[in-house]
Structure 1
């Protein structure tokens, strides 16, 4: 009985103290040695609202200083027509650094052209990669007034901004971490510890070409119908991984305020609101069997078709 009580107490403590986990990044925040080229790889799905999302991401990439340190930015895209590819070029500002590597109208290609490019380039060159995509584009489907939908989209935007903060604005940390011998860098690993991590949730990350060479080829038949293989692929060779920030919460349903990860000191009020909301979502799911994902997805699909 004492061991059961101890486990319950530990889990209860974790849901409070490990709801978010901030790490001291100062040892890696100095200007890095950039002896190897830095390549950005960006996947764009031109669904409704893509122009606004791409503009936001490219502006943040450039404002962070990472674009200036990037040797080349490679872009893959899924478009509805050639006109969208031309428009994408204009939005990105296709200078000498940016190059379209894949243009297709086949939405079932998912993120794989971009990831296959990383595999191919890693085979011939020692370099560093950062990878990002139009996270949440499916939820930009026109102007909606449904409060549940707007809350979901707000949560996803906040999640994306968190990933961009650590991917773009903490790029010095990423480069130094990889130069130090880590295989991957990102944030928000899942599933929560002590389970074994198998992805950076949201699929924004940095890696080294030496590690990519260890990763398996994509199973041709499975990737034709399964987009989620792309999210787990990076962990298939059991990397020495580095995470700049972690959370136990499902960020589709719990809002991640920027101050919780970017402020010098953790704001107590915002932290408490996050912990309460996270535990409320968790309680409804486990005690009352409320399936957030299926209910919200059904609502979203109905709104999208309406």
Structure 2
């Protein structure tokens, strides 16, 4: 078999393409070969081909954030002016359906390829009226598709937290790896992964509030650790959403948060990952007070 493609590296190349929209580039020296239906299922991993745009499907499992149409239109204008710089990374329809057979009804009948990297670019190519596009075929990477999505979307722009949490959950379910290993693969801490996964436990009303921007991510990940009845109490209390007080306690469960403190820089990063913005502000206030001489604190009181 041929050399396997580093999808994370290709995702970084895609990011370069879309951020230097006004700069044309010289095409790669190796000429792509025309793709044909007969070749499907027998491709050499990493082989570069030219395919009809009509035969390349947008990945039905790659969720699109709301408000992306303007970005697609801008990218289409760039493609009209300078062409497509980087090829799409795809797999054959057969390879895709072997892993995701429940997605058959969501693919067009004439589809021969499914996009792994470059879904936004494919949408822009369609809008630009381009007939053919270069593709790199890599069927071997279908089973790590969700990891690729997390890398690609994380490098290009912030993926909506709920979409990110859904993709993380899918990776863990399909691969059986730990949250720590997933974090290592996508360049995030295991704490970050755990906090995102907590969002999957939000009740529908709080999920919708998070998507509308009415609920801050810091509170959302705390609420995700509460029981359904406690979350319903928060919703019933109305906006702005906050923990519901019960005497001197609140519904958020106190939990132990271990801080790594081998160096000041690591301690600071660890604290930022474990505390909300409000908690950080209070921590800074308390630390500042602790640094004051006793007489200064007395005078301030």
**Bigger strand fraction:** 1
TM bucket (normalised to shorter chain) is under 0.3
- Structure of higher RCO (CA pairs closer than 8 Å, 6+ residues apart): 1
TM-score, scaled to structure 2: 0.27
TM-score (norm 1): 0.27
Higher-helix-fraction structure: 2
